């Protein structure tokens, strides 16, 4: 499979060209069929293509047309995540690659002082001396395996741990190779300037300057039903105290029933404005003219937006990288800040919510960014657009080797089956 660079739009335009609140589409578009979902990034902006194309030409000149995850860092600059994952792969091979790939039968949980034939096979699988007792050494080996493979490291071999052991070394080696291939699509170490890397697999954003990470923060990304796509786009301007266009599904499920229960006061109390349509020049209309029962029933689509303030889901900042997916980065209102403390941060409608939008804005502009009026949206162009790369990694490189993560979008199984013949039918829904 050749590396694909798809340009959806060449949008070399300032904020003024996108200032209308209705520029984002109502629903995200589908990923183009030429893109391997879960592996390739869609390149939105024409300006980003030359460096990617140049890198691919280098790889192809060395005979790397196809998916094969070779040690390209020996002859061409790659992203440091690729190099880190390659080193992690070597450590993984050394620690886990030579162990007996025997299958442990399913059954009751195995823990300290358990005995029997299943314990004997478990000990063999972990490279321990022969024996039938689950002793301290067995618990330590199980705990080490769990820590590497994305489980709570409690030293107890339950059904999930046994299932992971039975997947075998090659399965996890292939997961690392798959993630290396994703990392190979990221910017090279030699690329100067600033860029942003969002990893939807770990729900984390990292800011880079001249090839090095300089800051990082947690983010909230799309749920499994509304995945954040793998894409690359230019962040061009920031909306301070932005308006928020309410998704039609939310208008149907939440706003319209609220109006039916409480009357039009529901809208005024929450600073909702109703617009005539979804065009750029839409005008405010009288909410009393809307058939809210029809909106709640899904027979009519109402366009609503919310002004700046405590109710606004955009918070104080919206970071715009115009694209047909309708994906952008944004702040959150104060009452949602605690969501970033949770382990499950795959809960958005696809956009990327920032743990500290003010700090991110300061990094972009080199100064605090504030609007003149907290009730007025102001668009501020960046002096130079900043690239944003959204990837998806299900493994990371730790100091002693890899650490595998969950696959919240279930993207890995089909890719593993396609490129490695990995028997994914049995593990398609597996997540530690």
| pLDDT grade for 10, boundaries at 50, 70 and 90 | very low
All residues at 6 or more sequence positions from 16 whose CB lies less than 8 Å from its CB, including other chains: 379
**Burial (Cβ within 10 Å: 0-12, 13-18, ≥19) of residue 285:** middle
The neighbour count for residue 293, using CB atoms within 10 Å, is: 13
Residue 89 gets which letter from DSSP?
H
Average of pLDDT values for 160-185? 95
* Residue 122 pLDDT greater than 60, yes or no: yes
* Residue 182 pLDDT greater than 90, yes or no: yes
To the query of whether residue 330 is one of the catalytic residues in this protein, the response is: yes
Distances from the Cα of 48 to the Cαs of 42, 235, 360, in angstroms? 11, 12, 22
Three-class SS state of 88:
helix
C-alpha 412/C-alpha 393 separation (Å) is 10
| pLDDT grade for 145, boundaries at 50, 70 and 90 | very high
Contact 272, 258 (CB under 8 A): no
pLDDT of residue 13: 37
Phi-psi region of 269 (alpha: psi -120 to 50; beta: other; left: phi over 0): alpha
Is the sign of the CA dihedral 156, 160, 162, 165 positive or negative? negative
C-alpha 245/C-alpha 24 separation (Å) is 8
pLDDT of residue 49: 63
The neighbour count for residue 106, using CB atoms within 10 Å, is: 10
pLDDT of residue 419: 87
Contact 84, 37 (CB under 8 A): no
What tokens were used for 82?
A: 């690729």
Average of pLDDT values for 30-58? 70
Query: Residue 178's closest CA among 427, 432, 414?
Result: 414
pLDDT of residue 18: 34
To the query of whether residue 149 is one of the catalytic residues in this protein, the response is: no
Phi-psi region of 45 (alpha: psi -120 to 50; beta: other; left: phi over 0): beta
**Burial (Cβ within 10 Å: 0-12, 13-18, ≥19) of residue 352:** buried
Query: Residue 331's closest CA among 251, 237, 267, 239?
Result: 239
C-alpha 202/C-alpha 278 separation (Å) is 34
- Lookup result for tokens 């070399």: 12
Segment 72-111, tens digit of pLDDT: 545 567 899 999 999 999 999 999 999 999 999 999 999 9
- From the centroid of its chain, how far is CA 387? 16
* Residue 383 pLDDT greater than 80, yes or no: yes
């Amino acid at each position: 499979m050749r590396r694909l660079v798809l340009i959806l739009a060449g949008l070399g335009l300032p904020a003024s060209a996108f200032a209308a609140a209705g520029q984002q589409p109502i629903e995200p578009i589908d990923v183009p069929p030429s893109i391997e979902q879960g592996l390739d990034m869609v390149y939105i902006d024409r300006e980003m293509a030359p460096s990617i194309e140049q890198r691919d030409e280098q790889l192809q000149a060395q005979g790397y047309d196809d998916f094969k995850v070779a040690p390209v860092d020996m002859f061409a600059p790659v992203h440091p995540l690729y190099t880190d994952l390659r080193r992690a792969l070597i450590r993984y091979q050394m620690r886990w690659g030579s162990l007996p790939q025997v299958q442990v039968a399913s059954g009751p949980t195995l823990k300290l002082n358990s005995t029997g034939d299943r314990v004997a096979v478990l000990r063999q699988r972990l490279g321990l001396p022969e024996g039938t007792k689950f002793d301290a050494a067995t618990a330590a080996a199980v705990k080490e395996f769990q820590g590497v493979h994305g489980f709570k490291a409690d030293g107890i071999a339950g059904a999930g741990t046994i299932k992971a052991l039975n997947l075998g070394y090659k399965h996890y080696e292939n997961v690392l190779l798959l993630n290396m291939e994703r990392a190979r699509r990221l910017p090279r170490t030699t690329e100067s300037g600033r860029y942003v890397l969002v990893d939807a697999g770990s729900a984390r954003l990292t800011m880079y300057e001249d090839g090095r990470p300089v800051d990082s923060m947690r983010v909230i990304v799309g749920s499994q039903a509304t995945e954040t796509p793998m894409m690359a786009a230019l962040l061009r301007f920031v909306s301070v105290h932005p308006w928020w266009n309410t998704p039609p599904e939310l208008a149907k499920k939440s706003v319209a029933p609220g109006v039916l229960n409480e009357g039009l006061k529901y809208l005024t109390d929450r600073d909702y404005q109703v617009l005539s349509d979804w065009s750029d020049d839409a005008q405010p209309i009288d909410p009393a003219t809307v058939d809210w029962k029809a909106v709640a029933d899904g027979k009519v689509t109402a366009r609503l937006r919310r002004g700046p303030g405590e109710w606004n889901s955009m918070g104080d900042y919206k970071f715009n990288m115009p694209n047909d997916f309708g994906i952008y980065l944004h702040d959150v209102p104060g009452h949602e800040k605690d969501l970033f403390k949770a382990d499950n941060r795959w809960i958005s409608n696809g956009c990327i919510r920032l743990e500290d939008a003010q700090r991110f804005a300061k990094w972009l502009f080199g100064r605090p960014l504030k609007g003149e009026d907290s009730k007025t949206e102001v668009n501020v162009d960046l002096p130079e657009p900043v690239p944003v790369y959204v990837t998806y990694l299900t493994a990371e490189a730790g100091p002693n080797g890899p650490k595998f993560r969950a696959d919240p979008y279930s993207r890995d199984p089909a890719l593993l089956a396609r490129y490695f013949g990995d028997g994914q039918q049995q593990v398609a829904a597996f997540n530690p």
